[in-house]
Structure 1
Amino acid sequence: MKRKLTVGAALSATLILASAIQVSAGTAQAAPVTASSKGSTLRSAELKSLAQSYAPAVAQAAGLGASEALVAKDAVLDANGAKHLRFERTFAGLPVVGGDLVAHLNPAGKVKSVDKAAEATIALPTLTPAVPAEKAAKQATGAVQATVGVTIDEDESPMKEVTGSSEPKLVIWATTGTPRLAYETVVEGVRESGIPSAQKLVTDAATGEVLSTHEQYLAAAASGTGKGVFVGSVPLTTNSASGTFQLKDPSRGNMYTTTLANKTSGNGTLLTDTDNVWGTGLVSSSQSAAVDAQFGAAATWDFYKNSFGRLGIRNDGVGAYSRVHYGRNYVNAFWSDTCFCMTYGDGASNTHPLTELDVAGHEMTHGVTANTAGLNYSGESGGLNEATSDIFGTMVEFSANLAADKGDYLIGELININGDGTPLRYMDKPSKDGGSADAWSSGVGSLDVHYSSGPANHFFYLLSEGSGAKTVNGVSYNSPTSNGSTLTGIGRDKAAAIWYRALTVYWTSTTNYAGARTGTLKAAADLYGTGSAEYNAVAATWSGVNVN
């Protein structure tokens, strides 16, 4: 779904973007689980060891044979003690490609169910390959030279040169058809475009037939620098290709930035540079806004990954792309689910781009919401949708910790859409913008969603910082409560962890403010325990914005 001003993912004088909160991975003092949409995803040696201890029971429940064994890969622990253990499988000591499985255990440790990648029984007549390893390597290389393989980017050219290959490794192929002995080989080379590539091929160990080919990487990451309009001087991870550099980040799902050159359609043209030094900080350089956009996308990626273990907006490891210089005098920015991309206008007179950091985090969070709770964009759920973008957009700003754009609880304070230097929204007292509600009332759902977000934004500020006058990062705030209570904040990290878990675990498309209260209380109980200081703070803070 394309989101602009009319549907609320955009930025304008009436639109209010991100709210401030800093979240760091592992900060929350969770009870059995950290802030995750499905529980606590932990990959430490201790957790793998825990998972491995259940391997025999899982193998028995899965009906594996005597020659098969399980190797722990990952573990997700729910708040109630339920376990979701991911394993790779081996047969006679050989890795089974397509043999992975996930076992679901109840809190007592009993296996309830097992989800297998492949159901076929493994029973091989021999483990001796008919094709020698040396011949298998040549067959794999020949297959790649014949351009067999899937590229990461559909428009990439075929491989023109093979530079080497790994020693073929014997595996069991069980992904499709009858399990068979196979070789796994990685063939490295260079495409016509000059970009390096690595093809992982699986070939039949009896015939040499190619069973699978997949490109592992198609990028050479490079360290560049940029100077944006708002972010100042920042490091950029770029892609090196054919003697030039692309504003494309191989380390973050290949996210990239294009220019629309004042057009309003199309994907735009990927920005390139010869010296890997981007922008001047001035709007007169077309690269400056692109630096803001690319850094904003990277900062959003890092925030979600470091705070919640979320890999990208869809949690699938794929980076969204950004388009700058949209239209002429376009005073807006928007996220589109359709193109899976961020778009920024250049503002009034094409000299005020909308590429501020909290704008980037705000808009891309609409994508996160769409892929989790899917909050409807109307009524109270619409206000919660906008507030979620405000909250995590500001979290991105705080977590990036830039000297040029310090974290604050002001929304869009640098883009100056109002023309008088004021921000779009204030989280400590939302009504300061002239339209937002400070607290819930029966008519709040009839407000524009950018104004009905007020109670949620206010809740988040109060939960993070508490009520009354204070200064944060050099900005003065004075936040009242609707019931006159005095509140003590629990910190941005914990407040964000609670909001994220409620969004990803408990809320649905129709959640209203009452449901938001219920969901965040459940989330606080999951993370910190029922009756904990954090749980009690959530309850008291909702009362402080008249949600009881």
Structure 2
Amino acid sequence: MSAWIVGAALVAVALPAGVASAGTDHSVQSVTLSVQPLAGALAAPLSAGEQSALLTAAESSAARTAAALQLDARETLKPRSVLKDADGTVHTRYDRTFSGLPVLGGDLVVHTAPDGAIKGVDKATEAPVAVASTMPALSAEAVKSFSVGRAEAAGAKEAKADSARSVIWAATGTPVLAWETVVGGLQHDGTPSKLHVITDAATGEKLFEHQAIETGTGTGQYNGQVTIGTTKSGTTWAMTDGGRGNHKTYDLKGAEDGTGTLFTDADDVWGNGQQSNRQTAGVDAAYGAQATWDYYKNVHGRSGIKGDGVGAYSRVHYGDSYVNAFWDDDCFCMTYGDGDNNANALTSLDVAAHEMTHGVTAATAGLEYSDESGGLNEATSDIMAAAVEFHVNSAVDPGDYLVGEKINIFGDGKPLRYMDKPSKDGRSKDSWYSGIGSIDVHYSSGPANHWFYLASEGSGAKVVNGVSYNSPTADNLPVTPIGRDAAARIWYRALTTYMTSTTDYAGARTATLKAAADLYGTNSVTYANTANAWAGIAVGSRIVQGVTVVNPGTRTTLVNKAASLQIQATSTNPGALAYSATGLPAGLAINASTGLISGTPTALGTNSVTVKATDSTGAGSTATFTWNVVSPTSTFENTADVQIPDQGAAVYSDIPVSGISGNAPGTLKVDVDIKHTWRGDLVVDLVAPDGTAYRLKDANMTDSADDVVAGYTVNASSETANGTWRLKVQDMYSSDSGYINSWKLTF
């Protein structure tokens, strides 16, 4: 659910003639790429009965699934939606409750093989959701008053708390008992308000808030003469599309609530292309709904917004001079204003596809409309709107990578957003950075929009359907396109199959790479260039064409104790890989065929090891890492930097420990070196190999000193020494940043 724009007027700038960017200095015509996905990963068409049967089966086996996932006995899984691949793999999305309370940010997707075996799971949170008590210390009335104040501070009018319910808040930080209050009324620009405020039920602290109203034969103003689906009853035609879930289009006639009046006509000829004819906006809205339905159905096998074959409905002529459009998931409907002075209805094709895609997002990943997930929510709507435009292939409104270019919202003829270089609008960001989650979601969407353009068209200057683009990259290296069809398929599968409510930019990269692997293969050029497009917006590293060797990181093992390490490598070329290594500790060797390093190190010391993998074409790649050989009274260390997101999810730094018999000591020494500009923001835990967490440091917002450089002693005598130990760090407050510099364990 989203409004087209929210808040202050967007600054739009003229489309430039072209500035040199990575990899090229001249304009070229776009070349359409067509990469065929693997058939088994495509969506299997499901009838309403088949979908219902799968959901019923998921419901009946929910307790067994929860047990298999090792959830708390007080947790219950509730299936929300289900997808099935052509090869029989089923992807079931669940919501969770704890002692009967909804767990916000606890959603997960379980991937099941045709034989019923669980292949994997994607979770919105990895943290245990159990809380000590489900009895709130604060009353509902107290949090309602606070929440109304939050809405009024944001400029809301007629704000009132419509509801408050007890929940478990698990989307950020440590899960806690909380209140979720929904505040109604109007936003500052006249858009209806459904502000969700999450409040700690014990302290009254605001934990999170987001706006659930997230800001489409006739002749339309934007689409010209088109055919729309209508239905005849007696001698009268109605704007009801019987072929697309009975989608209906209504005239609100300036009202701001209710359904309005269904458009009807005596001769089934609608509108005249002029705003003065009330049917004109209805034609554009109905056509936008039709085009969006057809795109999702014909390209992705999705029947309707929820995938259940049921049509939404559209309302036009909302309010007076309302310069916006929005999707509301509660009414399952699209609403369009008539623009400034009621002169330009916001019913263009990309606006319609954008807004209705918010409904698709709500029905699938449910990306929270705040922080980085909010930017990805907005970007998803921009991305799929562009895909719909190109799919329609209209001579009146050709496909482009411009957002809202037809509606002329400010009277200057400029788009709202640009996907090739988002910063051209004056506010959006071209690339990811650690604080991007703190800006408006319409601008933090920029990097993901930029990813879609780079993946679709590549970097540099080119012309597509008569529009000039010039796309730079964050690392100043060129990006080779995979084609817009592949990019859209990958994004859609990532959204519906792997993303969850809390997915951030790093998570979106992971989700799209999983989708690319499903659709095109892990060793495909498409997979590599999907990753390289992310590197072009500063998310993750590049995959070199040919051979890629995964760097295993610093290794620490005991002298005179057997050790092994499997080197991971892939190639985009077919055939087996050959492995070699230099600098290995004495007593270790690498298997040239498998890449397994094994043996018994015989000498103490620090060794710089370089491993190389070579494919059948002679292409090769290397990775260099440190291998420490230490005495039995051992210190294990990780010196790799790990960035800590500002007021973001917890991050981890791992130390694999091997060669120590029995349990860890009762005086396990943990030395930590964390660089941070306000150390009181940080919570630090040591996580044992079995997942048990030992608190090393609590947050203290009054502690403004820099850095955490400290030693801690932990009684870990109940823990097996060998395994992967983790340092867990989370920044609980905003405005300061830092990174894990190094840490070590002494047994």
Match of residue 310 from structure 1 = 302
Partners in 1 of 2:222 and 2:313 — Cα distance? 19
State whether residues 11 and 359 of structure 1, in contact with CA within 8 Å, keep that contact through their aligned partners in structure 2. Answer: no
Match of residue 30 from structure 1 = 37
User: How many residue pairs are counted as aligned between the two chains?
Assistant: 371
Structure 2 counterparts to residues 474-513 of structure 1, below 5 A: 474-513=466-505
2:297 counterpart SS class: helix
Match of residue 578 from structure 2 = none
1:277 counterpart SS class: coil
Match of residue 338 from structure 2 = 346
Alignment CA distance shift 1:521-1:112 (3 Å): closer
How far apart are residue 394 of structure 1 and its match? 1.4
Match of residue 327 from structure 1 = 319
Question: Does residue 525 of the first structure (1) align with residue 508 of the second (2)?
Answer: no
Partners in 2 of 1:485 and 1:292 — Cα distance? 41
Match of residue 435 from structure 1 = 427
What CA deviation, in whole Å up to 9, does each residue of 1:223-247 have, x standing for no partner? Answer: xx00000000001121001201001
Note the residue ranges of structure 2 that are not aligned, 5 or more in a row. Answer: 14-29, 48-82, 92-110, 119-216, 541-747
Partners in 2 of 1:111 and 1:417 — Cα distance? 52
Alignment CA distance shift 1:11-1:277 (3 Å): farther
State whether residues 11 and 333 of structure 1, in contact with CA within 8 Å, keep that contact through their aligned partners in structure 2. Answer: no
Q: Write 1 or 2 for the structure with the bigger share of strand.
A: 2
Partners in 2 of 1:338 and 1:460 — Cα distance? 29
User: What is the aligned-residue identity percentage?
Assistant: 59
State whether residues 421 and 472 of structure 2, in contact with CA within 8 Å, keep that contact through their aligned partners in structure 1. Answer: yes
Partners in 2 of 1:351 and 1:271 — Cα distance? 20
Aligned with residue 261 of structure 2, among 242, 257, 269: 269
What CA deviation, in whole Å up to 9, does each residue of 1:157-193 have, x standing for no partner? Answer: xxxxxxxxxxxxxxxxxxxxxxxxxxxxxxxxxxxxx
How far apart are residue 451 of structure 1 and its match? 0.4
How far apart are residue 14 of structure 1 and its match? 7.0
Match of residue 658 from structure 2 = none
How far apart are residue 41 of structure 1 and its match? 3.9
How far apart are residue 418 of structure 1 and its match? 2.5
State whether residues 35 and 500 of structure 1, in contact with CA within 8 Å, keep that contact through their aligned partners in structure 2. Answer: no
State whether residues 241 and 248 of structure 2, in contact with CA within 8 Å, keep that contact through their aligned partners in structure 1. Answer: yes
Aligned with residue 386 of structure 1, among 375, 378, 382: 378
How far apart are residue 13 of structure 1 and its match? 3.9
Where relative contact order (Cα < 8 A, 6+ residues apart) is larger, the structure is 1
Match of residue 229 from structure 2 = 237
Over the aligned positions, Cα root-mean-square deviation in angstroms equals 2.7
Aligned with residue 281 of structure 2, among 289, 296, 310: 289
| 4+ runs deviating over 3 angstroms | 2-6, 10-16, 40-43, 75-79, 81-84, 109-113
Question: Does residue 411 of the first structure (1) align with residue 418 of the second (2)?
Answer: no
Partners in 1 of 2:528 and 2:116 — Cα distance? 35
**TM-score (structure 2 length as normaliser):** 0.47
Alignment CA distance shift 1:282-1:529 (3 Å): same
Letter paired with 1:482: A
Aligned with residue 418 of structure 2, among 407, 419, 426: 426
What CA deviation, in whole Å up to 9, does each residue of 1:361-420 have, x standing for no partner? Answer: 000000000000000001110000000000001111111111111110000001111321
State whether residues 418 and 424 of structure 1, in contact with CA within 8 Å, keep that contact through their aligned partners in structure 2. Answer: no
State whether residues 42 and 85 of structure 2, in contact with CA within 8 Å, keep that contact through their aligned partners in structure 1. Answer: no
Match of residue 52 from structure 1 = none
Alignment CA distance shift 1:398-1:429 (3 Å): same
State whether residues 4 and 351 of structure 2, in contact with CA within 8 Å, keep that contact through their aligned partners in structure 1. Answer: no
1:488 counterpart SS class: coil
Letter paired with 2:325: A
How far apart are residue 422 of structure 1 and its match? 0.7
Partners in 1 of 2:448 and 2:46 — Cα distance? 30
State whether residues 359 and 412 of structure 1, in contact with CA within 8 Å, keep that contact through their aligned partners in structure 2. Answer: yes
State whether residues 14 and 450 of structure 1, in contact with CA within 8 Å, keep that contact through their aligned partners in structure 2. Answer: no
